[in-house]
């Protein structure tokens, strides 16, 4: 079977965050078995599909043809497996090659070394068969080969795209902060430009820079293949390249371009306040063959008048302080853009791509949608606006048209009354204790099984997973009742209510629904401490409210002493101890997310990184290997963990005896281990209780808001027995 008709495996790479867009493209091109992974999409198809992907994909960086995949148990395995690949089927001795080696390991700790070994294998095999050897050309090779090393597995692929596909070939110049072409396309797709163009809508970029968004928008609307201007691809010198097949793909694209430009009558315009950059813009548009279809003019933002058409898309990438200017200097720019949109583009859609949400708030507009798209390493968002009323106007309009009040059902009224009753019961204690974050409701009424927490002016509602005996339909109805009661309770006193629903799902799915588009964090106070709390992204907020008394106990115990915090999470216990005068601390966790969060908590409280250190490590392995000792140790392991980052599975009931023994070995003679866990059926090992002094203080660590749930956690104080006892 020839490659022309054979169904082959392929891999298309793309910037992180664009995987779904690339999947949609590949499916539209006829690919099958499309599966997303991080920054790439696997797919199947005949050679023609791969050619079309190279020519038509507006999102992909590269299209790869995997040749071999093998384990790397020794350094020699790379050469020995690579030399067995039939390279003579793909290239000639007179070809030039380039090797892209991605990833490192203990065996190959330098990608250049990996590339050298792979190059040697290719050269040796071709020399043995043909008597000559390919040369190396890192810049413009005939054949480009990629090897990816991940978790001990090496995948060697032929790069049939060659130079990254985001380089269309039209850009000869650029502004001071250019967008890559595939990022511009992603912005346009997220903005809904294809549908707007199909309906005859116009497009304006008021800060067009070198014109990338304008050009990609025109190519998209005119049905022009983005890579049609490229002179070479990675398959050009490939021995299995099917030139007649490629010519048919190319001819079809040329025909579609001709037809697309004949029917093209859209109004696409670009403006910029910097007249010098527009010379570059005009040259790029001419290179793309679109100078008759895109209009360019010098116009500062504050000179914008009424829109040129009734409907359309205003899309732009204003500077946001990452690489151009200071944030303070950009505030007037965003204010002007907001005024222009509110005054002159009320019937249009707008899409603003920015890496600074604080600046975006100066637009005084509320986005209807927002999408995360990285610009290199910078986290940015596409903010889509369908309503050009200012925020104050929207609020006034809502207030002028009050929604009809729906009476509470008897069930919701019962729950509402319970929330009010609990609030009254806790009021005196909250005032006396100066507590602003607390549990208001904890499945007090069993049928309405949820935890309702207050974080200052925000309400956080977590649904408990319903038993298998409760139908999904019934569980959903009950949670809707909870929402109705909470909404009534919140009134005008609370800024926002967050809900986390848990649903029974199949396979590896968890009982959670994470927010992928927006991330909202607030800073709350607990005594002297300030903590970052995230109410939008995770089931856990970053601050375990039930551990409030445990943190206070640790603060009291650690004054002038050293602290070890194992499985530290966001290190809130460490913060309280440090503020209370802990001499020094070490907080250990294996999650980069949590350690970054912990670092932000340290910064919020002005803690010294020299005295209070954070360490990314597997706590189980660290306990075995490290020799430091401490005055106080806080050991709060998860109930169960099978994280891929850990070398073994952790089960707190099974493993706590060894965990405690290893932790006690790190404890100074007069020190104390505070051992905590959240396993409701937990029982302390009998041998452990005989080996050490173990005092169960769980009851003393339950504040008023958790008295109704005495099994929320377990806490022991553990000390070494006297050798004379």
Which domains does the chain show, CATH number per domain? Answer: 8-159 (3.30.2130.30), 181-222+264-396 (3.40.50.150), 406-538 (3.30.750.80), 544-720 (3.40.50.150)
With 0-12 / 13-18 / 19 or more C-beta atoms within 10 angstroms meaning exposed / middle / buried, residue 674 is buried
Q: Give the chain's length.
A: 725
pLDDT of residue 708: 87
**Tokens (6 digits) for 590:** 């294996």
Instruction: Provide the 10 A C-beta neighbour count for residue 658.
Output: 14
0.85 exceeded by pTM: no
At residue 388, the pLDDT reads 86
Number of C-beta neighbours around residue 73 at 10 A: 9
Count of CB atoms within 10 A of residue 209's CB?
26
**Positive or negative torsion for Cα 299, 305, 309, 315:** positive
Query: Which residues pair with residue 350 across a beta bridge?
Result: 314, 385
Measured between alpha carbons, how far is residue 195 from residues 189, 312, 362 in Å?
9, 10, 28
State residue 723's pLDDT score. Answer: 58
The pLDDT value recorded for residue 108 is 93
Q: What pLDDT shows up at residue 539?
A: 80
Mark the ranges of the chain whose per-residue pLDDT is less than 70: 1-5, 173-177, 322-326, 395-405, 502-519, 643-647, 723-725
Please give the pLDDT value at position 393. Answer: 74
275 burial type by CB count under 10 A (0-12 exposed, 13-18 middle, 19+ buried): exposed
Query: Measured between alpha carbons, how far is 251 from 247 in angstroms, rounded to an integer?
Result: 6
CA dihedral defined by 68, 74, 76, 82, rounded to 10 degrees?
0
pLDDT for 304: 86
Q: What is the pLDDT of residue 640?
A: 86
Backbone angles phi, psi at 305, to 5 degrees: -105, -150
Three-state SS string across 573-600, please? HHHHHHHCCECEEEEEECCHHHHHHHHH
Q: Which pLDDT score, from 0 to 100, does residue 513 have?
A: 36
CA 434, 436, 439, 445 torsion-angle sign: positive
pLDDT in tens, 357-371: 989 999 999 999 999
Task: Report the candidate in 270, 268, 267, 269 with the shortest Cα–Cα distance to residue 175.
Answer: 270
Secondary structure percentages of the chain, helix, strand, coil, to 5? 35, 25, 40
Q: Find all residues with CB under 8 Å of 453, minimum gap 6, and list them.
A: 437, 438, 439, 440, 459, 460, 461, 462, 541, 545
432: CB partners within 8 A, 6+ apart: none
**Res 378: pLDDT:** 87
- Residues 397, 399, 404, 407: what is their CA dihedral angle, to the nearest 10 degrees? 150
The DSSP-derived string for 395-457 is: HHHHHHSPPPPPPPPHHHHHHHHHHHHHHHHHHHHHHHHT--EEEEEESSSTTS-EEEEEETT
Q: Under the phi-then-psi rule, with left for phi > 0, alpha for psi from -120 to 50, and beta for the rest, what region is 220?
A: alpha
The helix/strand/coil state of 686 is helix
The residues that bridge with 562 in the sheet, in sequence order, are 584
What is the pLDDT at residue 724?
A: 46
Distance CA 280, CA 268 (A): 17
pLDDT score for 508: 36
How large is the C-alpha radius of gyration of the chain? 31
């Amino acid at each position: 079977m020839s490659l022309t008709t054979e169904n082959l495996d392929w891999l298309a790479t793309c910037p992180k965050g664009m995987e779904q867009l690339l999947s949609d493209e590949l499916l539209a091109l006829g690919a099958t078995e499309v599966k997303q992974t991080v920054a790439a999409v696997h797919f199947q198809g005949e050679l023609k599909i791969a050619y079309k992907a190279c020519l038509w994909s507006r999102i992909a960086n590269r299209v790869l043809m995997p040749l071999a995949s093998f384990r790397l148990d020794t350094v020699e395995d790379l050469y020995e497996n690579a030399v067995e690949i039939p390279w003579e089927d793909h290239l000639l001795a007179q070809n030039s090659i380039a090797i892209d080696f991605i990833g490192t390991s203990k065996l190959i700790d330098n990608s250049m070394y990996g590339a050298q070994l792979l190059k040697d294998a290719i050269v040796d095999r071709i020399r043995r068969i043909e008597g000559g050897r390919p040369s190396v050309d890192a810049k413009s090779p005939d054949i480009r080969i990629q090897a990816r090393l991940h978790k001990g597995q090496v995948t060697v692929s032929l790069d049939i795209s060659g130079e990254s596909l985001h380089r269309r070939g039209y850009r000869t110049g650029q502004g001071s902060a250019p967008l890559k072409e595939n990022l511009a396309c992603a912005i346009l797709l997220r903005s809904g430009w294809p549908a707007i163009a199909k309906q005859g809508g116009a497009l304006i970029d008021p800060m067009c820079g070198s014109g990338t968004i304008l050009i990609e928008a025109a190519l998209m609307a005119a049905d022009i293949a983005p890579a049609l201007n490229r002179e070479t691809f990675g398959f050009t010198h490939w021995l299995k390249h099917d030139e007649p097949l490629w010519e048919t793909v190319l001819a079809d694209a040329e025909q579609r371009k001709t037809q697309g430009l004949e029917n093209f009558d859209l109004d696409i315009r670009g403006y910029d306040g910097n007249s010098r950059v527009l010379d570059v813009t005009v040259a790029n548009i001419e290179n793309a063959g679109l100078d008759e279809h895109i209009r360019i003019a010098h116009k500062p933002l504050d000179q914008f008048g009424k829109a040129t058409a009734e409907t359309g898309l205003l899309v732009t990438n204003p500077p946001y302080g990452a690489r151009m200017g200071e944030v303070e200097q950009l505030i007037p720019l965003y204010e002007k853009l907001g005024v222009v949109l509110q005054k002159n583009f009320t019937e249009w859609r707008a899409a603003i791509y920015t890496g600074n949400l604080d600046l975006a708030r100066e637009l005084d507009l509320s986005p209807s949608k927002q999408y995360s798209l990285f610009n290199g390493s910078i986290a940015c968002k596409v903010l889509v606006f369908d309503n050009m009323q200012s925020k104050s106007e929207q609020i006034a309009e809502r207030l002028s048209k009050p929604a009809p009040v729906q009476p509470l059902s008897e069930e919701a009224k019962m729950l509402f009354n319970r929330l009010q009753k609990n609030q009254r019961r806790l009021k005196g204690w909250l005032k006396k204790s100066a507590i602003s974050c607390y549990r208001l409701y904890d499945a007090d009424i069993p049928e309405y099984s949820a935890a309702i927490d207050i974080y200052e002016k925000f309400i956080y509602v977590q649904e408990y997973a319903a038993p298998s005996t409760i139908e999904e339909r019934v569980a959903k109805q009950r949670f809707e009742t909870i929402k109705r009661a909470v909404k009534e309770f919140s009134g005008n006193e609370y800024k926002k209510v967050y809900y986390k629903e848990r649903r029974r799902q199949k396979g590896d799915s968890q009982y959670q629904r994470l927010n992928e588009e927006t991330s909202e964090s607030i800073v709350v106070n607990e005594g002297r401490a300030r903590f970052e709390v995230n109410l939008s992204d995770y089931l856990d907020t970053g601050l375990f409210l039930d551990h409030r008394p445990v943190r206070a106990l640790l603060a009291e115990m650690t004054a002038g002493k050293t602290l070890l915090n194992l499985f530290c999470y966001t290190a809130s216990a460490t913060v309280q101890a440090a503020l209370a005068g802990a001499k020094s601390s070490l907080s250990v966790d294996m999650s980069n997310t949590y350690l970054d969060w912990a670092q932000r908590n340290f910064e919020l409280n002005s803690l010294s990184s020299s005295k209070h250190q954070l360490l990314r490590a597997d706590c189980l392995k660290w306990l075995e290997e490290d020799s430091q000792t401490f005055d106080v140790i806080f050991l709060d392991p998860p109930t169960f963990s099978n994280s891929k980052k850990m070398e073994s599975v952790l089960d707190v009931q099974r493993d706590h005896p060894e965990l405690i023994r290893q932790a006690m070995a790190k404890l100074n003679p007069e020190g104390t281990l505070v051992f905590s866990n959240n396993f409701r059926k937990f029982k302390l090992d009998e041998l452990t209780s005989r080996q050490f002094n173990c005092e169960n203080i769980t009851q003393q660590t339950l504040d008023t808001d958790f008295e109704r749930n005495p099994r929320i956690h377990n806490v022991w104080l553990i000390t070494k027995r006297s050798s004379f006892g």
